[in-house]
């Protein structure tokens, strides 16, 4: 009988010890000793050769370094997770944590479409005043409220220019031109007002579309043109500078709300560091990439853009009335 009692006492003590170990392990998930790794995903539509990807790698580096490996970021380039709209919808439902996206956000919050109007800004300084100031933050807040997508920062992308199969030297040269545009109404309406024939198309289809003559032209910043190898299927680049461009590091608000305050601070620090890094790359490499394309046979023209801008701006106010005329007037006032 005594042996049985001793045996039961031993079993009880063993169960207590095992329970204690189990509890220690569970509590460790929130402690410093065995913190669970937060695995995050970032998608973008560009190739690994593009400065977007280099900026994304910087974001990953800072997140993982500052979190001591307790947060990881896996990058999916080349539209692996779909086009801009697919990724935006992924951010909304939380299947994607971060994406490099821009104008597609106008499908969820119309006010950001005002930034997509060609020739809204005459130079980089005007663009920067708006995008990195109070108006830019106001628009970011509207996007968050409307879509559940949080804009962390705006990266600069440089001016957008037109590539084509024929030289463009004047407004007359784009009349009826089948030009590929992203799915952004502000751009389509304005290019139509300038006399072109806009065609929306996903970026990963553009190279083939140009190669097969489905479209005659496209427009993008120089690093984007180089990264997409557009100079392989187009002979001319017109320096139209019709739009000073940005891309956002956008984040799912569902992911944001799931993070601790410390993790949120790390994400914000990484977003700022990657912005400074990418903007520096843009400044350093734009002319270099243009020179490379010229060396490989691209011909550059420099049209007088005054007539382009006049035709475009004639369409601005009517478009703005369908979106937010007060915000448009605020933008005009800010740059004046």
pTM: 0.79
pLDDT of residue 184: 85
Bridge-based pairing of strands 149-164 and 217-221 is antiparallel
Task: Quote the CA–CA distance of 121 and 295 in Å, as a whole number.
Answer: 30
| Residue 35 DSSP label | P
pLDDT of residue 15: 42
Q: Which residue has the tokens 């040269």?
A: 173
Q: How many residues are listed for the chain in this entry?
A: 336
Bridge-based pairing of strands 71-76 and 38-43 is parallel
pLDDT of residue 34 exceeding 80 = no
pLDDT of residue 92 exceeding 50 = yes
Structural contact between residues 160 and 221, judged by C-beta atoms closer than 8 angstroms = yes
pLDDT of residue 98: 98
Question: How much is the average pLDDT of 88-104?
Answer: 96
Give residues with Cβ within 8 angstroms of 327, minimum separation 6.
Answer: 111, 114, 135, 138, 139, 320
Structural contact between residues 321 and 257, judged by C-beta atoms closer than 8 angstroms = no
**Lowest-pLDDT range, 14-28, 165-179, 213-227?**
14-28
Question: How much is the average pLDDT of 234-247?
Answer: 96
pLDDT of residue 227: 87
Identify which of 105, 154, 150 has the alpha carbon closest to the alpha carbon of residue 128.
154
Structural contact between residues 118 and 237, judged by C-beta atoms closer than 8 angstroms = no
Question: How much is the average pLDDT of 179-194?
Answer: 93
pLDDT of residue 6: 38
Per-residue pLDDT tens digits for 245-282: 899 999 999 999 999 999 999 999 999 999 999 999 99
Structural contact between residues 195 and 176, judged by C-beta atoms closer than 8 angstroms = yes
pLDDT of residue 329 exceeding 60 = yes
Strand, helix or coil for residue 144: helix
Per-residue pLDDT tens digits for 124-143: 999 999 999 999 999 999 99
pLDDT of residue 1: 43
pLDDT of residue 183: 82
Domains parsed from the chain with CATH numbers: 37-335 (3.40.190.170)
Q: Which pLDDT band holds residue 336 (cuts at 50, 70, 90)?
A: confident
Give residues with Cβ within 8 angstroms of 94, minimum separation 6.
Answer: 252, 254, 255
Identify which of 331, 333, 321, 332 has the alpha carbon closest to the alpha carbon of residue 110.
321
Question: How much is the average pLDDT of 297-301?
Answer: 98
Of residues 11 and 179, which shows the higher confidence score?
179
Question: How much is the average pLDDT of 315-335?
Answer: 95
pLDDT of residue 202: 87
pLDDT of residue 45 exceeding 70 = yes
Question: How much is the average pLDDT of 164-187?
Answer: 95
Average pLDDT, the chain: 90
Q: Which pLDDT band holds residue 144 (cuts at 50, 70, 90)?
A: very high
Q: Which pLDDT band holds residue 163 (cuts at 50, 70, 90)?
A: very high
pLDDT of residue 24: 39
Per-residue pLDDT tens digits for 4-30: 443 344 334 434 333 344 343 333 333
**Lowest-pLDDT range, 17-26, 50-59, 78-87?**
17-26
For every residue of 67-135, which 3-state class applies, written as one string?
Answer: CCCCEEEEEECCCCCCCHHHHHHHHHHCCCCEEEECHHHHHCCHHHHHHHCCCCCCCHHHHHHHHCCHH
Give residues with Cβ within 8 angstroms of 130, minimum separation 6.
Answer: 115, 121, 136, 331, 334, 335
pLDDT of residue 41: 98
């Amino acid at each position: 009988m005594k042996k049985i009692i001793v045996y039961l006492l031993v079993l009880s003590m063993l169960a207590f010890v095992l329970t204690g170990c189990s509890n220690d392990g569970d509590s460790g998930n929130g402690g410093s000793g065995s913190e669970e790794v937060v695995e995050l995903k970032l998608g973008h539509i560009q190739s690994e050769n593009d400065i977007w990807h280099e900026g994304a790698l910087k974001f990953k580096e800072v997140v993982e370094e500052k979190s001591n490996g307790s947060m990881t970021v896996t990058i999916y380039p080349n539209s692996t997770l779909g086009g801009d709209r697919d990724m935006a919808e992924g951010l909304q439902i939380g299947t994607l944590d971060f994406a490099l996206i821009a104008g597609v956000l106008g499908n969820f919050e119309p006010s950001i479409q005002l930034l997509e109007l060609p020739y809204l800004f005459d130079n980089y300084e005007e663009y920067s005043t708006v995008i990195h100031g109070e108006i830019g933050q106001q628009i970011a807040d509207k996007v968050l409220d409307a879509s559940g997508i949080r804009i962390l920062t705006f990266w600069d992308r440089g001016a957008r220019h037109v590539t084509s199969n024929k030289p463009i030297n004047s407004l007359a040269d784009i009349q009826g031109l089948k030009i590929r545009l992203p799915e952004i109404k502000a751009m389509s309406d304005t290019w139509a007002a300038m006399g072109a024939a806009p065609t929306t198309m996903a970026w990963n289809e553009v190279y083939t579309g140009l190669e097969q003559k489905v479209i005659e032209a496209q427009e993008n910043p120089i690093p984007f043109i180089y990264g997409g190898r557009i100079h392989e299927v187009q002979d001319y680049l017109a320096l139209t500078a019709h739009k000073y461009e940005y891309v956002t590091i956008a984040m799912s608000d569902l992911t944001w709300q799931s993070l601790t305050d410390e993790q949120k601070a790390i994400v914000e620090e990484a977003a700022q560091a990657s912005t400074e890094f990418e903007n520096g790359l843009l400044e350093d490499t734009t002319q270099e990439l243009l020179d490379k394309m010229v060396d490989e046979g691209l011909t550059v023209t420099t049209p007088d853009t005054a007539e382009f801008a006049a035709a475009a701006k004639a369409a601005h106010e009517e478009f703005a009335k369908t979106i937010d005329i007060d915000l448009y007037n605020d933008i005009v006032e800010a740059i004046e």
